[in-house]
Structures are given as C-alpha cells and as structure tokens.
Amino acid sequence: MDPEARFSYYQRVKEAADEEQRKVLRKDFTRTDREEILSLRVWWLNRMRYTSDPLREKTTLFWHGHFATSNQKVKDAFAMWQQNETLRHHALGRFPAMLKEMSRDPAMIKWLDLNQSRRDHPNENFAREVMELFSLGEGHYSESDVMEAAKAFTGYRIDPKACSFRMDKKAFDPGPKTVFGKMGNFSGDEIIDMITAMPQCARFIGRKLWTFFVAENPDEETVSGVAGLLLGNGYDIGATLGVIFRSEGFYSPKVVHHQIKSPVEWMIQTTKMLEIPLPDTLVLDNALSILGQILFAPPNVKGWDGGRSWISASSLLYRYNLAAYLLSGKARILGGGKGVTARVPLDQIISPGERGSRMLLLNHLVFRVFNAPATEKESAAYLDFLTNHPTPFSDQTILDFMQTMMSSPSYQLN
C-alpha cells in the first residue's frame, strides 16, 4: 500500500458509518499488509538470489539484523521497503550518515516510538536503543545520557501522505541537554556525531561486522584493529570490509568453514549451488520461518542472535529435509502441500566426464557443495559411496550423493 492508498484508508476508517464497517476495513487492511510483507520478503530473497552485487545484499541483511525493525509492530510494508532501500543505499557507505538517516526513517520512527516523543514528554525508547543496540552497547552510557538524549530526538514525525520524515518544530525540545558530560542545545544529529566519535562505537560496530562476516567471539586485538580502521576512515563500511576480506585473519583455518550459515544464507547459497530458482513462495516462507529467520520480522530489537542459536535438533533435521526436498522435489518431505520445485539441472552441472569418473565427480561436488575441502572421514565415506554405484553415474545416484553431502554438519558451515 503506497502512502496515498494508506492515507485514503485512514480517511475511509474515519468516515466509516459504524463500527461494523470499520471492522471490515481493518480486516481488509491487515490482510493487505500481510500479503504485501510476504511479497516484499520474496522480492528481497530473489534479489539476493540473482543480484550481481551480493556483498551489498549481504551487508543489507547485516544492517537489517542490526536495526532489527519488525513489521509486526510497524505494520506498514511500504515503510519496511523504504527502510530496506535506505539500508541498501548506505550498506557500504559511512555509518554515521546511515545512523542519522535511520533516525529519520519512517519504519524506525514507528518501531521505536519516536513519533510519540515530544518536548513535554520525551519517549526514551529510541534514545536508549540508539546507544544500547545501534552504537555503544550496554554499560557505555548512563540512564541520564538516555533521558537527556531523548530530548534531542523529540519532534521526529512521519508525513503520512508521503511516508517521509518531517520535523515538528513545536514538539522539538531546543533547550540544553547534558549528554556524555557535555552540555549544549544539541540536535539529534549532533548526539549521533557525539556517539560515533566515541571509540567504543567503533569497537561495537567492528565487533558486529567481524562476527557477521568472519567469526563469532573475535579477540581483543581483532576488535581493536577493526575499530581503528573505522575511526581512521570515518566509518567507511565498504573500505573496512575490503581490508577485512584481505586480512590474514579472514583466511585463518580457525574461522574458515566454522561459521553456521543463517537460514537465509543457507537458502540463497543452496539454490545458487543447485542452479535452481527459489522454491514456491509458501514453501520458502514456511521454511525460513521454521528455521527461525523471517525477514522484516526479527524476533526482537536485538535482531537474530545468529551462530549456534540457529541450530536446534528440530531445525537441523529440517535443514536436512529441506535439502532432500530441493533435490527430489517431493513435497511430502515437508509435510505435503502443493509446492513445486524446479529440477536440479544435472546435465548442465555435471559433465559427461564427471559422470564416468569417481574422482572427477567427487572433486567437483565437494567444491560445489562445501566450497572447502572435505575431511578425511568425509572423503572416505564419499568415495565408498561412489564405489558402490556403477558408472556412468545416474541422475538418481548423483542426487542421492548430494543429499548425503548436504545432510551433514559440514554443509551448515560457511
């Protein structure tokens, strides 16, 4: 629903003859929003699947988890799409500019109640989260910093006709605020400048970048290193990632193939690797929800915990079965339904030579599936499997082989 449609909906609710009519309108509205957020999800997943700039999409996903705005509260798919575009636009740019933009983002304004924050009654929700979750982390600001900073973020409003930011000067508190021991008639942007000037902010963002792109629990030296880069280059995220991706730490055997794929990563990588499109909307949406990653609906303001929290007995088995479904196309595996999945184009993927040679097929598929060498135990088991099947390998043999590879701990790792 674009802002105009939404605006006219509000008008119709206002003008409705009775409560019965309003109820019908509301129901209709809720259904429309639900359909729209679903199509937005599928749109983004397809964008991730087919983009020529995967780093930008992956970084956008990182920021979505960072700013963790959920349509469960915002209830405005258009605003969520706008935020997504804002995140994409700034994804590899400079963090302070992005943070300022996010304070003006309509979905964020609804998400953290900024639209209810006024001079005589500042709402602390945004001011708190901007420090706790977006920039500094708990313990690096005081309660009074939150209360005082909240004054600087008063008057931030949404123009409903355009779904855009507007400043309500009457609701803004232009008076003095004392934040981080400094006093002044600060604006919201100035508070953000003060925050991002703090080395702790660079450490916080640096740690999160490393955790998302490289590995959990980076050591102090690593965090300081990334923080130094960020402070030195004015929080240029693209440049910083460039250094990280060329660093020795990024290729350390301690981190390569040790990070658990998020459900979205699993889905995108798997369909790319199998050279098939994403599954049907309902299968796709249901799968990601069972696996615990619903785009535009992170579980809470902290976003997805990531790492081991992705994996439970149930979700791991589901990942294995989802792989079997994508390979075989048998809907029964996921509990029936009418989902249709594309056939894996084996003739395109596997050359005649590979069909006739165990070693060639093994080498190709190990790199295709895992993007890393197999362990000795895995290699032995794989060779054993292939030895038990006649050459040239049939489609079924190759699919079974891939199912075995994907139903393993190794396949869950980046």
Q: Among positive and negative, which fits the CA dihedral 73, 75, 81, 82? A: negative
Give yes or no for residue 333 binding other proteins (CB under 8 A): yes
How many positions of this chain bind other proteins (CB under 8 A)?
Answer: 69
Which range, of 56-64, 173-181, 232-240, 376-384, touches other proteins by CB under 8 A? 376-384
Q: What would the two tokens of residue 313 be?
A: 């007995």
369 in Cβ contact with 406 (< 8 Å): yes
Judged by CB under 8 A, the residue of 50, 381, 383, 392 near other proteins is 381
List, as one string, the DSSP characters of 371-392. Answer: SSPPPHHHHHHHHHHHHTSPSS
**92 is a contact residue toward other proteins (CB under 8 A):** no
Q: Which stretch binds other proteins (CB under 8 A): 158-166, 195-203, 249-257, 274-282?
A: 249-257
How many other CB atoms are found less than 10 A from the CB of residue 413? 15
Rounded least distance, CB 284 to other proteins, Å = 15
* Residue with smaller CB distance to other proteins, 268 or 291: 291
Would you count residue 253 as binding other proteins (CB under 8 A)?
A: yes
Own/partner pairs for 33-40, CB < 8 Å, 24+ apart?
A: 33/1, 33/71, 33/75, 33/76, 33/77, 36/1, 36/77, 36/78, 37/71, 37/77, 37/80, 37/296, 37/297, 38/281, 38/285, 39/77, 40/77, 40/80, 40/81, 40/84, 40/295, 40/296
| Phi, then psi, of 358 in degrees rounded to 5 | -55, -50
Secondary structure of residue 284 in the 3-state scheme: helix
Which residue shows structure tokens 């690593």?
Answer: 222
| Binding flag, residue 400, other proteins (CB under 8 A) | yes
The nearest distance, CB 311 to other proteins, in angstroms, is 5
Q: Quick check: 372 binds other proteins (CB under 8 A)?
A: yes
Nearer to other proteins, 230 or 327 (CB): 327
User: Could you give phi then psi for residue 352, rounded to 5 degrees?
Assistant: -55, -35
CB 122 within 8 A of CB 147: yes
Among 258, 277, 351, 359, binds other proteins (CB under 8 A): 258
Query: In the stretch 170-209, what mask flags binding to other proteins with x, by CB under 8 A?
Result: ----------------------------------------
> Would you say 38 and 32 are in contact if contact means Cβ atoms under 8 Å apart?
no
Binding range to other proteins, per CB under 8 A, among 114-122, 271-279, 348-356, 402-410: 402-410
Contact positions toward other proteins, by CB under 8 A? 19-20, 23, 70, 72-73, 215, 217, 253-260, 286, 289-290, 292, 299-302, 305, 307-309, 311-317, 320-321, 324-325, 327-328, 330, 332-335, 372-378, 381, 385, 388, 394, 396-397, 399-400, 403-404, 407-410, 412-413
